[in-house]
Structure 1
Amino acid sequence: MTAESAGCESTAGSGHPRVPDLFVTGNIPVPPGIPLGPDPMAGIGVVVPYDMSLDRELWRWTPSDASLFLTRTPDELLPVTMEMVEKISDKELVRTTAQSLRSVHASCFAYACTSGSFVRGLGGERDIVDAMKSAGAPEAVTTSGAILEALAHLDIHRVAIATPYDEPITTRFEAFLNEAGIEVVGAAYLNLRLDIRVVPYYRTAELVRAADTAEAEAIVIACTNLPTYDLITPLEADIGKPVISANQATMWAALNRCGLGAVGPGQRLLAIAEALESDGISPPTGTLRAVE
C-alpha cells in the first residue's frame, strides 16, 4: 500500500509518510483497536523540602485520574532543626521553587511540609499559600492548612500530636494549632534530626499511643517525611478515634480542590468525606483563622 493510498503523504525526498493534518485534528475516524484518550488528568504540583523522600506515599493517596508533579527546594544539607525549618519555609524560596511547576498546568499546588507551614504561625501559612499563587498556582494549600481543614471537616477541637521532631519544633506546632483554636491535650515526639523517612511503623504506633489521652478527639501525626499510609487504619481501630497524618491531609485537601477524592481504604477522614459527598455535601476548603 502506498503512502497516498493509506491517506498519508510522502515527505519529499525522504520516502517517509507524513501524517496528514486531518488526522492530527481528529477529523477522520479512529482506526479499530485504537483507544480514545488519553483521559483528562487533574494535575497537582507539589513543593517539598529537599530531604523529602516519600514521593511514593503521596502517590498511594492519588486516584488514577490525577497526576503529581513534585519539585524540591534547594539542598541545604541541614539536619531537621529550627534553622532548617525556617530556611525551607521562606516565602520567596517557596515562590521561586513553585515557579518550576508553571508549565505543567496543574490545577492546584501543595506545599507538602508540616513544620515549614506552621513555623511562622497562621500568618506564615497564609504567606506560603500566597507565594504559590503568585508563582502561578490556580489553587494552593499547605500541609498545616490541610490539617486544620481536616480537623474542621471532622468537627474536632481537641487533639494529641505525635511528631518526629525535637521539642522546640513540636512546641511550635502546638502553638500553631492553639492559634487556630485547636486545643492540644497530649503530645509526644521522637527528637529526630535525621532519617525520619526510615522510622518503622511500630515506632510511630508507639509514639501515637504515648501522645494519646482520654481528652483527645483525634491524633495528628506531623511531618510529610514520616511514613504513615499503612498505619492509619489499624491505629484508628486500635485507639478508637481518627488519626490524621500530614501526607494524608495534604493529599485529601489538594485532591478536594481538584474535585477528586483521596484513596485510603478504611481511613476515617476519607470515609467521612466520601459519605458526605454521597449526600451532596462538599468538604470545606480554606485555612482556618485564629479564634478571636
Structure 2
Amino acid sequence: MEPFKPLPATPVRLGFVIPERNVACETEFPQFLPDGVTAHFSRLPREGAALTQESLIRMMDSVEHQSRLLGGIDARIILYACTSGSFLGADDALDTIAEKIATASGVAAVTTTRAVLDALAALQARTVFLISPYPDDIHAAEIAFLEKAGHPVPGNATFGCASSELIRDINSRDVEALALSHRSAIRDCDAVFLSCTNLRSMDRIAALEADLARPVISSNSATLWRAMRGAGLTPRDIGAGRLFGLDLAGADPSGRARGGWGLAG
C-alpha cells in the first residue's frame, strides 16, 4: 500500500483544538504520524473536571480564539478534537463548530463527531457497538445522536466516569478488555466505536479488529485519519486499524461530507 506523502516540499502541520484536561491526543497522535507531518495543539478551557453536558457545550465559547492561534502556524487543517463537545447541543453543532473555527482561523476545519461519521461511511458501517467512558446521561445522548445520524446502536458499554481525571486513569488494555467482554454482541454490529478523545486505545485497535473480525475506530483514530485526509495525505496502513487504508467516501477532503451521511431527517 502506498505510504503517506506530504504535498511537495512543504511540511504538513495538523492543528487540533482539545479540551484542557485532554492528555490522550498529544500522546497518541505523534506515535502514528509519518515523517514530515506534525501535530500542534491548542486547549479549550472548561470549568471544573466534572463531565457535565453544560460544561462540555460551553467549551465552544473560546473555540474561535484558540483556533485562531493554530491559524498562525499555517496548519493545513484544524480538528475540533472533542467528541461529546461536538455532538451535544444543537443538531448541527458538529458542523457549526467547524464553521466557526474555519472563519476565525482561515483554515479548513472538521469536528471529531463529523470525522467519526466520515469514518463509518468509509468503512460502509451502519450499526455500531458503542464503548465510551462517559456518565450515563452523556452516554445516552451519544447513542441518541448516532441513531439519529442513521447508525443504530444494538449494543453498548460505558466506564461511567464522572470526571476527566477518571478517564485518564483508563489504559488502552482496559478498553480492549471491555470490548472483548462484549464479543457476542459485537457480532451483531458492523463496527465498534471507542468514543472520547481522552480515552487511549489506538495501540489496541489492530488487535481488536483481529479478535473481533469487525472494523474498530476510536474518536482519536477517526480524528487523526480525517486530519490526514483533509491535509491531502494518501492512504496507508499505519497499524491503527483498517480505517487508515481508506479514503473519504463522497466527501470534500477539506470540508464537510457531501450528502447521504450527515444527520438524518
Aligning the two structures, in what range does the TM-score lie when normalised by the shorter sequence? 0.7 to 0.9
Picking from 123, 148, 173, the partner of 2:92 is 123
Identity of aligned residues (%): 30
| 1: CA distance, partners of 2:211 / 2:229 | 28
Farther off after superposition, 186-195 or 117-126: 117-126
Contact 1:109 1:137 in 2 (8 A): no
SS in 2 for 1:264: coil
Q: Is residue 158–residue 216 contact of structure 1 (8 Å, CA) maintained in 2?
A: yes
> Take 1:244 and 1:121, find their aligned partners in 2: how far apart are those partners?
24
Q: Offset at 1:48? A: 0.2
Judge conservation of contact 1:50–1:76 (CA < 8 Å) in 2. no
CA distances 1:11-61 after superposition (whole Å, capped 9, x unpaired): xxxxxxxxxxxxxxxxxxxxxxxxxxx952111111000101120211123
**Paired residue type of 2:33:** T
- 2:27 aligned to 50, 56, 70, which one? 56
Deviations 1:197-242 (A, max 9, x none): 2312232123223455232111000011111121101111111101
1:132-167: CA deviations, max 9, x gaps?
111124311111110000000011110110001111
The residue aligned with 1:44 is 14
Give the letter aligned to residue 17 of structure 2: V
For 1:100-249, what aligned pairs fall within 5 Å after superposition?
Answer: 100-192=69-161, 193=163, 194-211=165-182, 213=185, 214-249=187-222
Structure 1: 5+ residue stretches without partners = 1-37, 277-281
Deviates more, 1:216-225 or 1:174-183: 174-183
Tell me the residue number matched to 1:98: 67
TM-score (norm 2): 0.86
Which amino acid in the other structure matches residue 54 of structure 2? Answer: E
SS across alignment from 2:39: strand
Which of residues 250, 264, 282 is equivalent to 2:223? 250
Distance 2:32 2:14 in 1: 12
Contact 1:110 1:140 in 2 (8 A): yes
Rate the CA distance shift 1:266–1:61 in 2: closer, same or farther, 3 A. closer
Whether contact under 8 Å (1:60, 1:263) holds in the other structure is no
What is the RMSD of the two structures over their aligned residues, measured on CA atoms? 2.0
Partners of 1:266 and 1:69 in 2: how far apart? 20
After TM superposition, the structure 1 stretch with the greater mean CA deviation from structure 2, 186-195 or 215-224, is 186-195
CA distance in 2, matches of 1:48, 1:140: 13
The Cα shift of 1:127 comes to 1.2
Residues 1:70 and 2:44 are matched in the alignment: no
Aligned residue pairs, count: 245
Cα distance between partner residues in 1 of 2:39 and 2:73 = 10
Q: How far 1:74 sits from its partner (Å)?
A: 2.1
Aligned to 1:24: none
Secondary structure of the corresponding residue to residue 49 of structure 2: coil
Gapped runs of 5+ residues in structure 2? 1-7
- TM-score by length of structure 1 reads 0.78
- Do 1:49 and 1:113's aligned partners in 2 also have CA atoms closer than 8 Å? yes
Q: Helix, strand or coil for the counterpart of 2:193? A: strand
Residue 267 of structure 1 corresponds to 241
**Separation in 2, partners of 1:74, 1:61:** 27
1:248-289 C-alpha deviation (Å, 9 max, x unpaired) = 000100110111146632611113x1xx6xxxxx64433432
Mapped contact 2:171–2:201 kept (Cα < 8 A) = no
